[in-house]
């Protein structure tokens, strides 16, 4: 099925804001290699089309898929946000985070399409859920030989998991559109919006579980221990420098960790059971014949086209610094803000509460970004995020974290989430708009540079002091936003020149 949209830029930004799957027709140009040949989507089978219950069945499938992912991501989010503080010795926690993104980048090249063709969408999701169990189990007795390989495996399964979810939602949206007559560009944002909303719920659940368990069991620090902790936190924090002497970094006892693992294991089992019993296979909707909803290129062909597009598209090149910085700053929030500020000064059990504020802020403002951009334009929205993020980074450089000022922790997390909402939505929108019909290669470029930012950020997290990390963030933010402004100026100049040429030709 091919969707024709007159106002391409406005429609793309609308779909991305809603978490939509952009599936526009590809029109090859002179310098663009086609990603895939768009074939008309097959009609649903007569028995499915004639069933009066099929509409509600599709909705049920989308709801159950979203619930399964919420359960699964609850375990992953709750565990990932604790890594740098739960396992600070020798940088084990950040090493495990690096392993996750190295695994993700590695598997992106070949694994998703192979697995989907082998077992289909539903069983790809179930298989990847199962393969994430070692990552949760090895949180009990942690070592480089157990946790890092388990983290790498969790990253490897992330690529096919994401592609399977996107394909399932896209195919069911196509079928729902065919049955009900609702335009596909209306159905897709609804399905993806609900799915992403449930996934954001995992940010709240996962962090609440870890904080509630730890704070209810672990004894509070006395005043002497608190004074000892404050001297080396915030901008003064350096990995390995007195970490073992800081009582806030004491690892919870085995009973506490076992309880967290037990709860997360229950959520993981619930996600698998929900998928097995509550979600239909896409073969019901001719999964293998719906190439328009699947990944067009796979393996190293996609990698080649990805870099070819990057070398040819100068506009996309100007987005690379900001995309790389986006991964870097998110890595800082996950690994460094939680360790150097929250855990170091306040305590391990309070990380979850602060990250809940960050997640809720990010989700809420993501829904409001469309309204903001409509009234201010993309450039002003991006400049607003730039100003706010600079202020937050400067605050982190001058503020000494103190548990007697809990409001400051939450305000900083909320403002960071606000900026993230603008960065992510608008950067993804730009990759769609600038893709020249090559959305697959464009999003591959986005994933590549974002993941590299995560890898670099997590890699130096266990080596550099917080002061240096904040200087790096601030410097690269200025570089990234300057590059983005040049991009907008070039696009404006190009449009103005074309308009002048059209007016001259008209005369």
Q: State the DSSP code for 313.
A: -
30 pLDDT band, cuts 50/70/90, is very low
- Kindly report the pTM of this predicted structure: 0.76
pLDDT (0 to 100) of residue 293: 39
Residue 278, judged by CB atoms within 10 A of its CB (0-12, 13-18, 19+), counts as: middle
229 pLDDT band, cuts 50/70/90, is low
- Top mean pLDDT of 33-37, 56-60, 217-221 is at 56-60
48 pLDDT band, cuts 50/70/90, is low
pLDDT at residue 435 is higher than 80: no
Segment 73-109, tens digit of pLDDT = 999 888 887 786 677 777 788 888 899 988 888 887 6
Given a contact cutoff of 8 angstroms between Cβ atoms, the answer to whether 474 and 325 are in contact is no
pLDDT at residue 18 is higher than 50: no
The Cβ of residue 220 has, within 10 Å, a number of other Cβ atoms equal to 9
Element housing 379 (H / E):
helix 378-398
Segment 310-325, tens digit of pLDDT = 666 777 888 999 999 9
330/49: higher pLDDT: 330
pLDDT at residue 39 is higher than 90: no
The lowest-confidence range among 52-56, 216-220, 275-279 is 216-220
d(CA 165, CA 409): 34
Given a contact cutoff of 8 angstroms between Cβ atoms, the answer to whether 263 and 378 are in contact is no
- The label of the residue with tokens 């600070």 reads 88
In order, the DSSP letters of 447-459 are HHHHHHHHHHHHH
Dihedral Cα 434, 438, 442, 448, nearest 10 deg: -160
Element housing 336 (H / E):
none
pLDDT (0 to 100) of residue 291: 46
Given a contact cutoff of 8 angstroms between Cβ atoms, the answer to whether 358 and 333 are in contact is yes
Nearest partner of 18 among 231, 145, 173, 222, judged by Cα: 173
pLDDT at residue 38 is higher than 70: no
Q: State the DSSP code for 30.
A: T
Question: Coil, helix or strand for 24?
Answer: strand
The mean pLDDT of the chain is 79
The Cβ of residue 234 has, within 10 Å, a number of other Cβ atoms equal to 22
In sequence order, the β-bridge partners of residue 24 are: 3
Given a contact cutoff of 8 angstroms between Cβ atoms, the answer to whether 199 and 161 are in contact is no
pLDDT (0 to 100) of residue 457: 92
pLDDT at residue 468 is higher than 70: yes
């Amino acid at each position: 099925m091919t969707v024709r949209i007159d106002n391409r830029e406005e429609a793309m930004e609308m779909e991305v804001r809603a978490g939509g799957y952009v599936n526009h027709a590809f029109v090859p140009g002179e310098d663009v290699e086609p990603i895939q040949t768009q074939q008309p989507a097959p009609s649903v089978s007569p028995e499915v089309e004639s069933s009066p219950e099929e509409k509600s069945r599709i909705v049920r499938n989308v709801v159950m898929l979203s619930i399964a992912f919420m359960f699964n991501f609850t375990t992953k989010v709750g565990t990932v946000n604790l890594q740098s503080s739960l396992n600070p010795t020798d940088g084990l926690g950040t090493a495990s985070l690096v392993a996750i993104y190295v695994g993700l980048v590695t598997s992106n090249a070949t694994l998703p399409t192979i697995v989907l063709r082998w077992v289909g969408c539903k069983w790809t999701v179930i298989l990847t859920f199962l393969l994430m169990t070692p990552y949760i189990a090895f949180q009990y007795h942690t070592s480089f030989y157990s946790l890092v390989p388990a983290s790498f495996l969790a990253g490897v399964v992330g690529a096919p998991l994401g592609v399977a979810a996107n394909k399932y939602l896209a195919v069911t949206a196509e079928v729902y559109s065919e049955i009900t007559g609702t335009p596909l560009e209306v159905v897709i944002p609804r399905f993806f919006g609900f799915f992403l909303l449930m996934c954001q719920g995992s940010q709240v659940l996962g962090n609440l579980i870890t904080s509630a368990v730890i704070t209810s069991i672990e004894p509070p620090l006395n005043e002497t221990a608190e004074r000892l902790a404050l001297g080396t936190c915030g901008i003064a924090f350096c990995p390995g420098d007195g970490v073992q002497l800081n009582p806030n970094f004491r690892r919870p006892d085995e009973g506490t960790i076992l309880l967290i693992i037990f709860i997360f294991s229950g959520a993981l089992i619930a996600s698998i059971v929900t998928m097995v019993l509550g979600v239909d296979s896409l073969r019901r909707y001719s999964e293998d014949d719906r190439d328009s909803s699947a990944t067009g290129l796979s393996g190293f062909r996609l990698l080649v086209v990805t870099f070819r597009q990057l070398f040819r598209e100068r506009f996309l090149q100007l987005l690379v610094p900001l995309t790389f910085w986006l991964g870097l700053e998110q890595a800082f929030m996950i690994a460094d803000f939680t360790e150097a500020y929250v855990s170091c000064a306040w305590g391990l059990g309070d990380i979850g509460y602060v990250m809940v504020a960050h997640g809720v802020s990010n989700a809420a403002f993501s829904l409001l970004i469309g309204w903001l951009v409509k009234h201010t334009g993309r450039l002003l929205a991006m400049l607003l995020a730039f100003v706010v993020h600079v202020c937050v980074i400067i605050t982190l450089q001058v503020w000494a974290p103190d548990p007697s000022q809990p409001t400051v922790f939450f305000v900083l997390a909320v403002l960071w989430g606000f900026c993230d909402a603008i960065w992510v939505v608008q950067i993804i929108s730009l990759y769609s708009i600038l893709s020249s019909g090559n959305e697959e290669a464009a999003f591959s470029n986005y994933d590549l540079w974002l993941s590299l930012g995560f890898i670099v950020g997590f890699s130096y997290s266990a080596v550099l002091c917080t002061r240096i990390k904040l200087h790096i963030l601030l410097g690269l933010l200025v570089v990234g936003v300057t590059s983005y402004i040049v991009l907008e100026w070039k696009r404006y100049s190009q449009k103005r020149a074309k308009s002048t040429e059209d007016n001259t030709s008209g005369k």
